[in-house]
Amino acid sequence: MIEKSILQEVLNEALKTGGDFAEIYIEQNDLNTAYMTDGKVESVLSGKDYGAGVRILSGFKCIYAYTNDLSREGLLKIARDASYALTGVKNVESRDFIKLDYTNAHPISIVPSAVDISKKVSKVKEAYTIAKSYSSEIVQVSVRYVDNDKKVLIANSEGLFAEDRRIRTRMAIEAVASDGNENQTGFFGPGRLMGFEFFDNVDIEWHAKEAARIAVTMLHADLCPSGVMPVVIDNGFGGVIFHEACGHSLEATSVAKGHSVFSGKLGQRIASEVVTAIDDGTIQNAWGSSNIDDEGHPTQRNVLIENGILKGYMIDMLNGRRMNMKPTGNSRRESYKYAPTSRMTNTFIAKGDKTPEEIIKSTEYGLYAKYMGGGSVNPVTGDFNFAVNEAYLIKDGKIDRPVRGATLIGKGSEVLLDIDMVGNNLELGQGMCGSVSGSVPANVGQPMIRVKKMTVGGRR
């Protein structure tokens, strides 16, 4: 994107007031969306964004500045402006670049820019029609298609020079069912690190019907009882509880400053012995994957918890300095407007040895959370409150009637210790994860698990 000689100039300009490390991140991002609701295609949009960010480190201090002026003068200006935050003298020279060599682990078959927009709109209409025709009780359907083609270049004063291209495609389907008095919603949002071949790998018909089915099922569900009881959480997006209530507490962003309940606990038991948890940014064409992270480190498979023992954290360069630990390929950012920090990629509880049927059969009474919704988490304590989009009571080891209005309330560190059964049906679910470095695509996941006791909030 930019001549290497200019990059070297920019890095040396950034180092002139005493920084010990400088980095430039350059990005070009092409985005296409199509949105349909109430039987009409409301918008079809295309956009392009580009820019650069310069980061300077001095010990544990970080200075960051960004611009969308990619001229030599524009880049030198932000490097100079950022350097003014330090008052020392230059003692480090930027090294010659060595390009990072890697094999692209995420091949793209059909680049979205090569596909006519009419074909993208056709996929939106198809999903809309399937969901809307599921039942006469479906009163509203919204479908959004997004494809994103991001090219990044990362160079730093230690001689690293790395490039990556990340193409992602996603379709989000929301269906609303109504009986005239009450409304219920179902949602599915499959996504992959893929081009338009996404539609050859993901069954959009199933996802559209499932979004509608959830809405209709919950419309006729009884109110959920409240109380403390065993809770069986299904696979896929059920992993959002681990992601939010535990995963963020394993990111160096909070661990390095002692803001996590898991700070200083490496080698200690923090979960039940049936729990192994992994963050893996290398899974081929997975939603949260990439070849390199946003500091230019290759992504990797990181075992966070093994048989209940805390084995590792997700670490970026700056917080790695604070912790005296190496980066783990987890440094991420939404765009050039954000400095990177440690973030999850594809984070999941590993599969166990129980079948879903065994887990349900061994539960005399409890709640079966088939699909999880959104919620809130205190990142320091791990206290959480999550809605359940589709839930059922379990009675005498069998799935009983559907119930609505269920919420799961608890503390991440306690739930980890109370997981007593882990299924063998691991799946991943897609979402957007927000933190101090913006919103990034992330997979959550797990097999079916049982938590032996949780507080269930209901409406009666």
- pLDDT tens for each residue of 166-198: 999 999 999 999 999 999 999 999 999 999 999
Residues near 386 by beta carbon (within 8 Å), at least 6 away in sequence: 240, 241, 244, 372, 373, 374, 375, 407, 408
In the three-class reduction of DSSP (H, G, I as helix; E, B as strand; rest coil), residue 144 is classed as strand
How far apart (Å, rounded) are the C-alpha atoms in residues 292 and 5?
23
Which residues pair with residue 55 across a beta bridge?
23, 64
Number of CB atoms found within 10 A of residue 268's CB: 10
Instruction: List pLDDT tens digits, range 182-239.
Output: 999 999 999 999 999 999 999 999 999 999 999 999 999 999 999 999 999 999 999 9
Is pLDDT at 379 greater than 80 in this prediction? no
The pair of structure tokens assigned to 366 is 């409890």
Nearest to 364 by CA among 274, 229, 272: 229
Is pLDDT at 131 greater than 90 in this prediction? yes
Domain boundaries, the chain: 227-457
On whether the CB atoms of residues 132 and 141 are closer than 8 A, the answer is: yes
On whether the CB atoms of residues 404 and 417 are closer than 8 A, the answer is: no
Confidence band of 382 (pLDDT split at 50, 70, 90)? confident
How far apart (Å, rounded) are the C-alpha atoms in residues 444 and 117?
30
Q: What is the pLDDT of residue 460?
A: 57
How far apart (Å, rounded) are the C-alpha atoms in residues 156 and 140?
50
> Is residue 150 classed exposed, middle or buried when 0-12, 13-18 and 19+ CB atoms within 10 A define those classes?
middle
Confidence band of 377 (pLDDT split at 50, 70, 90)? confident
In the three-class reduction of DSSP (H, G, I as helix; E, B as strand; rest coil), residue 413 is classed as helix
Where on the phi/psi map is residue 442: left (φ > 0), alpha (ψ -120 to 50), or beta? beta
DSSP 273: T
Nearest to 224 by CA among 363, 350, 387: 387
Q: At what angle do helices 117-132 and 204-219 cross, to 10 degrees?
A: 30
**Percent with pLDDT over 90 in the chain:** 96
Please list, residue by residue across 177-209, b when 16 or more beta carbons sit within 10 angstroms of its beta carbon and e when fewer do: bbeeeeebbbbbbbbbbbbbbbbeebebeebbb
Question: Which stretches of 109-242 are assigned E, i.e. beta strand?
Answer: 138-156, 160-178, 183-188, 191-192, 222-223, 227-233
Number of CB atoms found within 10 A of residue 315's CB: 28
Sheet strands side by side (includes 427-435): 309-310, 301-306, 277-280, 346-349, 438-446, 427-435
**Chain centre to alpha carbon of residue 204:** 21
Nearest to 66 by CA among 440, 437, 446, 460: 437
Locate tokens 């959550």: which residue?
444
Is pLDDT at 369 greater than 90 in this prediction? yes
How far apart (Å, rounded) are the C-alpha atoms in residues 248 and 252?
9
How far apart (Å, rounded) are the C-alpha atoms in residues 67 and 50?
9
pTM of the model: 0.96
Is pLDDT at 381 greater than 90 in this prediction? no
The pair of structure tokens assigned to 102 is 């890697």
The pair of structure tokens assigned to 170 is 């996603």
Nearest to 234 by CA among 429, 455, 458: 429
How far apart (Å, rounded) are the C-alpha atoms in residues 240 and 171?
19
CA-based radius of gyration for the chain: 24
Structure-model confidence comparison of residues 453 and 378, the more confident one: 453
Q: What is the pLDDT of residue 354?
A: 97
Instruction: List pLDDT tens digits, range 52-93.
Output: 999 999 999 999 999 999 999 999 999 999 999 999 888 899
Max Cα-Cα span within the chain: 73
> Is residue 445 classed exposed, middle or buried when 0-12, 13-18 and 19+ CB atoms within 10 A define those classes?
buried
DSSP 243: I
Average pLDDT taken over every residue of the chain: 96
